[in-house]
């Protein structure tokens, strides 16, 4: 097990009239290779939760272990942690700051204390991985790029650190459908090539159904349920209670069921849907 979170609670502004309980005894385990979808309504605690994973938010109560780094220890190895967990915050392009793309993407690896040569190689590779032409963009200001390109540069800055775990907070928010597809396929590529474990916060239920093997559904600071996309997205009581949408495939299957068409298996991805319909037709 690569990440183990137990009874994590978090209160913003504790002990003041503004105290706000954002997390209430949240527990989750993640295995290396998992692609975890974190879903839930706005304000349910998703961002607060994932910001614990690289200690952007310091532990108040509960325990948290990330690849052997124990954040409940007195002096957790934060440097090692930040090299292990790559965090792509919401609208990461707002955090671009340096005068050139090359310098911006170098920032993280520099903090890891790597050699100049290693940094240069990683930066070039990361910029290529996010689908930009290194020679074309390296000396440009990140601020003169398009919105989608800026976001890729910001993601390149994270993957240049070669994190074992990639955590993304709504990475497709605000992008057009094509931009969304491109970022999702990039995340897939990264998972396959460099960061085998991925946690992604998303409001796009189709994307979660399509890509994730595990779904954690947050509601009011708690995890209401953890399971496979099939377990989560066919649980009517759970989805109604937490006011969650269903992926398109699930909506269609439910409509078919209401009309008496019962597929041999309940699909969640489009490919599974096609296969299930074929089997139903041939049966």
152 binds, among Mg ion, ligand ADP, none (CB under 5 to 8 A by kind): none
Nearer to ligand ADP, 51 or 100 (CB): 51
157 binds, among Mg ion, ligand ADP, none (CB under 5 to 8 A by kind): none
Binding site for Mg ion (CB under 5 A): 47
What secondary structure letter does DSSP report for 145?
S
Phi-psi region of 251 (alpha: psi -120 to 50; beta: other; left: phi over 0): alpha
Q: Give, in order, the Cα–Cα distances in Å from 45 to each of 41, 201, 219, 226.
A: 9, 11, 8, 15
Nearer to Mg ion, 20 or 274 (CB): 20
44 binds, among Mg ion, ligand ADP, none (CB under 5 to 8 A by kind): ligand ADP
Distance (Å, whole) CA 191 – CA 185: 10
What secondary structure letter does DSSP report for 42?
T
Nearer to Mg ion, 47 or 197 (CB): 47
Which ranges of the chain does DSSP label H, i.e. alpha helix? 46-51, 78-84, 101-111, 116-129, 134-137, 147-159, 177-193, 205-211, 229-233, 236-241, 248-258, 270-282
What is the four-CA torsion angle of 247, 6, 195, 226, rounded to 10 degrees?
A: -20
Widest CA span of the chain, in angstroms?
A: 65
Lay out the site mask for ligand ADP across 40-69 (x = CB under 6 A, - = otherwise): x-xxxxxxx---------------------
Nearer to ligand ADP, 47 or 194 (CB): 47
Q: Which stretch binds ligand ADP (CB under 6 A): 12-20, 107-115, 148-156, 264-272?
A: 12-20
Nearer to ligand ADP, 149 or 242 (CB): 242
Nearer to ligand ADP, 3 or 22 (CB): 22
20 binds, among ligand ADP, Mg ion, none (CB under 5 to 8 A by kind): ligand ADP
We find the least distance from the C-beta atom of residue 22 to Mg ion, in angstroms, to be 10
Q: Which stretch binds ligand ADP (CB under 6 A): 35-43, 56-64, 67-75, 205-213?
A: 35-43
Query: Would you count residue 261 as binding ligand ADP (CB under 6 A)?
Result: no
We find the least distance from the C-beta atom of residue 46 to ligand ADP, in angstroms, to be 3
Nearer to Mg ion, 90 or 141 (CB): 90
Please, which residues have CB within 8 angstroms of residue 198's CB and are 6 or more apart in sequence? 34, 35, 36, 165, 166, 167, 168, 187, 190, 191
Among 3, 5, 8, 22, binds ligand ADP (CB under 6 A): 22
Burial code (b: 16+ CB inside 10 Å, e: under 16) for 162-196 equals bbbbbbbbbbbeebeeebbebbbebbeebbeebbb
Which residue lies nearest Mg ion, judged by its C-beta?
A: 47
Distance (Å, whole) CA 269 – CA 248: 9
Q: How many residues bind ligand ADP (CB under 6 A)?
A: 12
Residues paired with residue 12 on neighbouring β-strands, in sequence order: 20
We find the least distance from the C-beta atom of residue 202 to ligand ADP, in angstroms, to be 11
* Residue ranges that bind ligand ADP, judged by CB under 6 A: 12-13, 20, 22, 40, 42-48
């Amino acid at each position: 097990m690569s990440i183990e979170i137990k009874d994590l609670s978090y209160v913003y502004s504790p002990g003041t009239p503004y105290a706000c309980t954002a997390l209430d005894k949240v527990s989750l385990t993640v295995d290396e290779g998992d692609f975890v979808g974190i879903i839930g309504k706005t304000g349910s605690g998703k961002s607060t939760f994932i910001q614990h994973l690289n200690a952007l938010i310091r532990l108040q109560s509960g325990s948290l272990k990330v690849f052997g780094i124990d954040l409940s220890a007195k002096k957790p190895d934060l440097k090692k942690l930040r090299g292990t967990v790559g965090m792509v915050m919401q609208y990461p392009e707002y955090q671009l700051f340096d005068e050139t793309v090359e310098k911006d993407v170098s920032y993280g690896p520099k903090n890891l204390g790597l050699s100049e040569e290693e940094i240069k190689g990683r930066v070039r590779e990361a910029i290529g991985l996010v689908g930009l032409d290194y020679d074309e963009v390296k000396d440009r200001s990140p601020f003169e790029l398009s919105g989608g390109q800026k976001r890729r540069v910001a993601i390149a800055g994270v993957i240049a650190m070669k994190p074992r775990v990639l955590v993304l907070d709504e990475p497709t928010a605000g992008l057009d459908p094509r931009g969304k597809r491109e970022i999702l396929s990039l995340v897939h590529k990264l998972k396959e090539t460099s960061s085998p474990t991925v946690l992604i916060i998303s409001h796009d239920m189709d994307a979660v159904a399509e890509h994730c093997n595990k779904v954690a559904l947050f509601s009011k600071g708690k995890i209401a349920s953890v399971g496979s996309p099939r377990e989560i997205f066919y649980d009517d009581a759970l989805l109604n209670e937490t006011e969650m949408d269903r992926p398109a495939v699930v909506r269609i299957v439910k409509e078919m069921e209401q009309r008496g068409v019962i597929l041999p298996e309940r699909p969640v991805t489009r490919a599974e849907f096609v296969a299930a319909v074929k089997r139903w037709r041939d049966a």
